[in-house]
Chain A
Amino acid sequence: MTHRTRTLTAVASRDVFLVSNSVDELGGITSWSHQMARLFSERGHRVHVLGITPAPAGRRHDLGDDLPYRTTTLYDVHPPTRPPAGVLRRRVDPVDRRRHAAHLDGMRRRAARLTDLFRAAGPGAVVIVTQVWAMEWVALADTTGLTVIGMSHESYETCRRSSRFRRVQRYYKDVDRMLTLTREDADLWIREGLDHVGAMPNPLPFFPDEPSPRRAKTVVSIGRLHEEKGVDLLLEAWALVCVNHPDWTLAVFGAGEEEPALRRQCADLGIEKSVEWRGRTADVPGALRESSVFALSSRGEGFPLALMEAMATGVPCVAFDVAPGVREIVTDQVDGLLVPPADTRRLAHCLERLMSDQDLRDRMGESARRGVQRFSTDRVVARWESLFDLLAR
C-alpha cells in the first residue's frame, strides 16, 4: 500500500475487496458491506467480501446462495481472544507465551491467505477495510500495488470513548485513505493528527415508490431496545405529549434487553394505553408507511439508517442531535427537526409541533424525501469511484 509497483492503466472495472469482522453477522456493517458489494458488482467491479471469523451463533444471518460476488471467511471458528497485553506476564508465563505465539502464528497464516488473494487481483485493485479489528490481519498481509482504505463506521465521539480509538490511530495510520461517515467527523480525526482522512456517507438502504400518506395518528420509533437508543427518553417526552393528543399512538418497533424496564417505565408514567410494543419487524418500509412522524431519541449514533429510511418514506423526523451523522442527514427546520441531546421537553415540543400540523408534516416529509436522495445509491457509488480515481492519481 505504500509504493505502487505495477503500472496503472485506466480501469473501468476493478477488483474490490470488502474486509469486515464477519461476512454473515446480523447488523449494520454487514448489511452495508453486502449492499455495497451488490452495487459495486452491478457497476462491473469484481467484488470479494471477506470476513475474518464466522459470526457468533445466534447473530448469524443467512446470506442465501445467489450472491453475485464471492465471500470468504478466514477462520473456521472464532480465534481465541488475544491474550491481555501484559508484556511482562507474556515474557514470564510459559503458557501465556505459547498461547500468544500460537495466536500470532494463526494470524500470519490467515494474512498469507489474504496476500494470495490480493496478488491475484488486477491492476487498480482496492481493499476496503470496514472495521479496525479486521485491519489487524490486512496490516500483516502484503498489499503492494493495492489501494487500502480503512473505515470508521461510527462518530468520532463514540469511537473516542471506546478502545477502538487507539487502535484506529495505530492500524489506520498507514492506509492510503481513512474514511469516516461525515466531513465533520473527518475534520475531528484530522485535528487528532491523521491527515489522510476523508468522508463517505452510507447509501440509502431503499427508496419506496410510494411515500407514507402521513395521515395515520402514529409516531414511530425503530431500533434495538438498548440503552444507547434512548427509548426511555422518548417515553419521558411522550408522557408530556400524549395528554394533549389522546388519539395518537406511539409505535415502538424493536426488541432487546431493555424491554422489561421500558414497559415498567411506561406503566409508571401511566402512558400504557398510547404506547404499542410492536417487536422486531422484517418490514421496515411497511412500518414507516403506517406512521406520520418518526422519532430518533438515541444517546449516540453514527449515520443512522433508520432516519434515512424514514425520510425516504416521506415521514418527517424529530431527532436528538447526537452526532455529525444526524446533522448531515437532517437539515433542521427544513426536512426535519433537531433537538439538543436528551432534552426531553424540547423533544416533546417538537413532536407536538408535527403532530398538530398536517401541513408542516407534508412539507417536511416531502422535503425529506427529496433531500435524502443526495445519499441515493447512484450518487454514493459515484463518489466511491471518484475516490478510487483520486487515490490512483
Chain B
Amino acid sequence: MNRQPDISVVVIVHNDAARLLTAVQSVLDQTLRGVEVVIVDDCSTDPSYAAAQRLAAAHPARIRAFRLSENSGAGGEPRNHGIRHASGRYVMFLDSDDVLERNACRNLLEAAETTGSDIVSGLCVRRHLDSRHRGTTKWYPWLYESTRTVDPVSELPDLFVWDTLSTNKCYRRGFLIDSQLRFPKGMFYEDLQFIAEAYLAARRITLIPNQVYFWNVRQKAESKSVTNSRHEITNYTHRLEIHRRIDALLADRGLDDLRRAKDRKFLKHDLVLHLRDLPLRDDAYRREFAALSQEYLAGIDPTAYEAVHASVAICAYLLRQGDWERLIPAVDTLMHRDKISSPLAQRDGRVYWTDAGGHLDDPLGRRVLDVTALGYHHRPLERMSLRNELTGFAAAGTTVSLSGRITNPLGSIPPGAALRGELVLSARRKSLQSFTFPVRSLRHDGSTVSWETEADLGRRLRPLGIVDTVWDIRMRLEADGARTVSRITAADTALTGNEVPVRPRLTRLTADRVEPHVSAKGHLAFRLISQGPAATSASGLIERGVHGAPGALGKAAYRKARALRRKLTSTDTKLRAYHEVFSRLPVRGRTVVFESHLGKQYSDSPRALYEEMRRQGLDFEAIWSYQGSPQGFPEDATLVRRWSLPYLKALARAEFWVDNQSFPLKLTKRAGTTYLQTWHGSALKRMGFDLPELKAMTRDRQREQHDALRRFDHFVVRTEHDVGTLAKALRLDEQRLLRTGYPRNDSLVRARERERAVGRRERGPLARELGVPQDKAVLLYAPTFRTPGRFELPFDVERFAEQFGDRYVLLVRAHYLNHVVLPPSVTGRVIDVSTHHDAAPLLELADALITDYSSVMFDFALLDRPMLFFTYDYDTYAHDGRGTYFDLASRAPGPVFATEEEFHAAVKALDSQALAYAPARERFVARFGEYDRGDAARRIVDQLFADWKHR
C-alpha cells in the first residue's frame, strides 16, 4: 500500500491463534480498502505470534505483526503498542475473538470525515455463541438509535457512563497522540479509564446506528475472560481503582453532572454485578468486599440513591452500614424485584424496609429505607412473593429433609392463623407432571414462619427422564385460606447428603439419581444425573441422540406442533371461527351480551340497564363479558371471558349487544343483531374523526374505522352537546341517536330529587363499608387517564390529610387503567376506591368532587354539589394533545386551578364557593345534562325491549 491507510485496526491477541485468523479476515474483508492491520501479540505461549507472522507475510502491504517481550496480563499494553505502530489517519481496536461488520470502517470513516469528530462510535452487538438460541444483544442500543453528534461529551452523560467499550469506535490518530491517550498498564477494566479520558479529551464525538463490532460471548469457554470471573476480589479492587481515577478526572474538570450520572451508574450496574454473587461467597470474601465498598460508597452523592431502584439503594445503603444480617436477604430482592425479603416495619405512617439497626435515625437511611411507594402494604397475601430461606438440608436413603423460614412482612400472616403447606416439584421445562409433598410442621415466629419436612423423593418422584432433567421446587403456604407461593432460596445452607435414587418412567437408563442444585438465581432445584455404569453409558447415547439427527428431527416436530397450537389459538383463527362457524348458527332471540369498559368492570350504563331489565322481570337471557377475574359480576347471568370462544359464540348468536366502549372492532355484526352503544361519557376532548390520527389515515383505513362505528344501531346521548360533538365525530346519523340520557345517571338524578324532597342528604351503605364517620364530609378525587400504570397524585396526600383530615374524608378514584399508592399514615382520612367498579354510588356519597378533565364532571353535576377542577397540566393535556370541544376554564361550574396551594385554598372555601357557583352549576347541567331525567333505563327498555315483558 503506497498511500497512507485511512484506518489502522489494532488487533490484540493472547493465546488465541485459532480465532485470530477470523478476526483479521473481518478486517481484510472490509468494504473500505484503505485499512491496515496491526497485530500485537501479548507474548502468547501458543502459536499466536507465528500465525500473526504468517498473515503479515501473506499480506505484506496490509498486515504487520508485533510481539510484546513479556506478557502484560491485560489488553491495555498491547493496544498501546499498536497505537505506537499504527500509521493510518484513524485507529480502531479489535480483540482476537471478535469481528468487525463488513461496512464498519467505511461507515465510521464517512461519519468522521463529514463531522470532523475525534471519536466516532457505532453499535456493538454481543453474540452469544454458546447459548442454545445463539441470540444477540445490542450494547446500549438506546444510545445508537440515530446518528448524532455531541460536543463535548457532557451533552450526553449516558454515553459517558454506559458505553465504556473502547472497541466499537474509531479514533483520529492525531487526537490520540496529541491528547497522550494510553491504556492503563496491568489493570483489568482498562477500557473504562481509557474511554473516560478519551471522551473527556474529545472536542466532538459522533454516534452512528450502524452495527460495527460483533463481540463474541462464550460463557462456557474454559479460560473465563475477565468479565466472567468477576467474583475475584482483585477484579473488584481494580474496578474501584479505575472508578477513583475517573472521579478524579471529573473533579479536576468540575464536571459535577457527569459525576452524579456516574455515581448512579455505579450503584445500578457495577455494584449490582458484585452484589449478586454475594450470597454465594464465604465470610472472608464478604468482609473484604465490604471494606472495599464502604470506602468508595462513602464518596457517592447521596442523591444517587434516589435515582436507582429501591432494592439497589437499600442494598447499597446496608452494605455501606455493614449490616450483613439484612443485606443478604435484601440481595434476594435485588435479584427478584418483586420478592419481599424483609419483615418490613410501619412507623410514623410510613412503611420501611426495616426499623432495626438504628438506620432510621440516619436521615439518609430513613430516605432510602422508606418503601411506602412500592405499595407492599396494599397487597393481600396472595399477591406477595415472599422470601423463603432454606435453613436445613439433609439427604439420607430415599428421603430428603428440609427446613426453612418464610418472611412475614407487616404481620400479613397473623399469629394463630391456620397454617398449611406443601412442597411442589415441577419440571422446569413444561411438563404435565408435578409432585406434591406435605409440609410436616409450620410455626409462627412473629416476623417469620418456620417450617420443616421430609420428602421421600426416591419413592414419590417419578420423572419421565431425558425431557425433564431439572425440577424446580416451590412451597405453597396457606394462612387462613389465603395462599402464597414461594421459591426456596438456598444461600448459606450446605446441600449435604447422598444423591437420592429415582426411577424415571423411561427406565433408569436415562438417569438413576437426583441431586440438589442451586439455580443461577439462587433457588433450590433438583436435577437428574446418571451414576450407575448402565445409566452412565445409556445417557451418553441418549445425549448424542438428542443432539444428533434424530434429536433434531424430534425437536423440529415439537416446534411444528407448538406452532400449530399457537395458530389454532391465534386471533385469526378465532375471527374465522366467529365469521365462518358461529355466524352461520341461527340468532337466538331474547339474548343480550353486555360488556362494560372492555369487560374490565361490571358497571356503568350497561349495568344500570341490565338491572332495570331484571327489575322489570323481562324474559331474556343475559350474558356478561369479563376480562381478568369474573369476581363482582352478577350471578344470575352467564359469564364469558372476553375473546374466548364462548364469548365469540355468544356475540355471533345474540339478538342484542349492549356495551359502553366497543366490542372487538374486527367482529362484523350480523343483520339480525342490534347493537346498543350506551357510550361512557360526554366529551371535553376531541374524539373520533375530529382527531388528526384518523384524518391522517388513507380513505381505505378510514372506511374500516367507519364500518366498525356503523355497527352501532343505537347510540345513547345525554345532551345536544353530545349530538354536536360525539355523534358528529363518530359519524353517526340522526336515526341512530337515543335521546334518553345515561342509565348510569338515573340513580344520581333520583338521589338529588330525594335530597330535595327530604331536605337532607342520606348516606347509603357504602359509607359504612368504607368506614366514613358520620361527622365528616366526603370529597371525591377522580382524575382522568393520562398514562398507564401508577398515577402520581399532584399533591402531597399526607399534608392534605393533616390539613383537612379532621373535617373531610378524601376518596381517591384512579381511572380504571391506573392505580394509586397511599401511605399508611393517611389511613381512614384518605381512602383508595379505585377498585370499585361502579362510579355512581361513589358520586352519590361524595359531598364535593375534585376532578380535572374527566367526563365524571358531567355526571356529578346532576347532584348539584360543589365541584373543583384541579387542572395542573391543562396546557400539555388539552392544547398540545388533542384539543377540546369547549373552553373548560370559562364554563367550569367551580374554581379551576393548577397548584397545590390553590387546591387547599379552594377546599377551605368550599362552603362559600358552593353558593357562589350555584348558578354556574345550573347552566352547566342545562347544557350538558338535559336528557338525564332519572328514567333513562326505563325509557330504553320501553323503546327496545317492550315486547319482552311478561304479560
Contact = CB atoms under 8 A, between A and B. Distances in A.
Contacts of A344: 692, 695
B571 interface: no
Interface stretch (A109-117, A124-132, A134-142, A188-196): A188-196
B150 to A, nearest CB: 16
Interface string B199-213: 000000000111100
A103 interface: no
12 contacts: A195-B107, A195-B211, A196-B107, A198-B110, A227-B698, A233-B695, A236-B695, A299-B697, A342-B692, A390-B109, A393-B34, A393-B106
B107 A393 contact: no
A122 interface: no
Pick from B107, B145, B209, B693 the residue with the most CB of A within 10 Å: B209
A162 to B, nearest CB: 12
B695 A176 contact: no
Contacts of A390: 106, 109-110
B102 interface: yes
A344 B31 CA distance: 48
B498 interface: no
Contacts of B216: none
A363 B104 CA distance: 43
B883 interface: yes
A227 B103 contact: no
Contacts of A187: 145-147, 209
A342 B210 contact: no
Given A190-B209, A195-B210, A195-B211, A393 B32 contact: yes
Contact of A191 (B31, B104, B145, B692): B145
Contact of B103 (A184, A195, A233, A343): A195
A7 to B, nearest CB: 12
A344 B697 CA distance: 13
A367 B391 CA distance: 76
A340 interface: yes
A304 interface: no
Nearest to A193: B211
A341 interface: yes
- Which of A183, A233, A340, A342: most chain B Cβ within 10 A? A342
A343 B692 contact: yes
A295 to B, nearest CB: 15
A345 interface: yes
Contact of B101 (A195, A198, A228, A342): A195
A393 B6 contact: yes
Contacts of B883: 345
A350 to B, nearest CB: 14
Contacts, number: 56
Contacts of B505: none
10 smallest beta-carbon distances between A and B, as pairs = A342-B696, A342-B695, A342-B692, A343-B692, A187-B146, A341-B696, A190-B209, A195-B210, A195-B103, A196-B103
A341 B32 CA distance: 40
A184 B209 CA distance: 11
Contacts of A236: 695
Interface in A69-86: none
Contacts of B699: 227
A344 B696 CA distance: 10
B559 interface: no
B566 to A, nearest CB: 23
Contact of A176 (B31, B101, B208, B698): B31
A169 to B, nearest CB: 15
Interface in A215-244: 227-228, 233, 236
B635 to A, nearest CB: 48
A196 B107 CA distance: 8
A344 B698 CA distance: 15
Interface string B608-626: 0000000000000000000
B927 interface: no
Interface in B883-927: 883
Nearest to B146: A187
Contacts of B547: none
Interface string A232-274: 0100100000000000000000000000000000000000000
Interface in B680-722: 692-699
A260 to B, nearest CB: 14
Contacts of A299: 696-698
B34 A190 contact: no
Contact of B31 (A196, A227, A233, A340): A196
Q: Which of A184, A341, A344, A393 lies at the interface centre, i.e. has the most chain B CB atoms within 10 A of its CB?
A: A393
B33 interface: yes
A265 to B, nearest CB: 13
A51 to B, nearest CB: 29
Given A191-B145, A299-B697, A342-B695, 7 more contacts: A187-B146, A187-B209, A195-B210, A299-B698, A340-B692, A341-B696, A342-B696
A236 B211 CA distance: 45
Contact of A190 (B6, B210, B695): B210
A97 B708 CA distance: 43
Q: In the complex, which of the residues B32, B208, B696, B699 has the most CB atoms of chain A within 10 Å of its own CB atom?
A: B696
Contacts of B695: 233, 236, 342, 344
Contacts of A322: 696
Contacts of A184: 146
Contacts of B33: 393
Interface string A374-393: 00000000000000001001
Contacts of B692: 340-344
Contacts of A343: 692
A344 to B, nearest CB: 7
Most chain A CB inside 10 Å of its own CB: which residue of B34, B109, B147: B147
A134 B14 CA distance: 49
**Which of A187, A190, A322 has the largest count of B CB atoms less than 10 A from its CB?**
A190
Contacts of B32: 393
A228 B107 CA distance: 35
A82 B775 CA distance: 83
A315 to B, nearest CB: 25
Contacts of B147: 183, 186-187
A364 to B, nearest CB: 23
B101 to A, nearest CB: 6
A344 B146 CA distance: 30
A237 B698 CA distance: 18
Interface string B459-482: 000000000000000000000000
A351 B694 CA distance: 22
A176 B103 CA distance: 9
A345 B885 CA distance: 12
